[in-house]
Amino acid sequence: MALERTFSIIKPDATARNLTGKINAMIEAAGLRIVAQKRVRLSKAAAEGFYAVHSERPFFNDLVSFMISGPVVVQVLEGENAIAKYREVMGATNPENAAEGTIRKTFAESIEANSVHGSDAPETAAQEIHYFFSDLEIVG
């Protein structure tokens, strides 16, 4: 399979605990390359836009509040089968259901404060990458 790119966020619960380096080490150990990265503070509008697909869900307002509660690190990851591979490295949404050794099993605090985001399909990966990065900022 050809190289693929996915979009990742290290969420506020993880930046608050200074876990960016530890999470990046797990990403790199899985064979994924961090080809773009920046630390940002999301505006409410940016967080609402990013999670627009969830706007009707009961957890939406709390999720937006959480995502703007502190800095996040947004990233583009590149590798063979990067989208599925990163979902594996992340683990299940609810850390109680996440497999041993995954980022969420190791670090997540709750189903909401679950340390990382990763795209779930090629279309969403492309859309999410371009929500935060221009092509010039991605260096493969």
**Which residues are annotated binding-site positions for ATP?**
11, 59, 87, 93, 104, 114
| Torsion from C-alpha of 70, 105, 121, 41, nearest 10 degrees | 10
Q: Does residue 114 touch ligand UDP according to CB under 6 A?
A: yes
Tokens of 129: 């990458």
Q: Which residues contact 58 (CB under 8 A, 6 or more apart)?
A: none
Q: Which residues are catalytic?
A: 117
Indicate which single residue of 23, 27, 63, 98 sits in contact with ligand UDP (rule: CB under 6 A). Answer: 63
Q: What's the rounded Cα separation, in Å, for the pair 16 and 116?
A: 13
112 binds ligand UDP (CB under 6 A): yes
Q: Does 85 bind ligand UDP (CB under 6 A)?
A: no
Interacting residues with ligand UDP (CB under 6 A) = 59, 63, 93, 111-112, 114, 117, 120
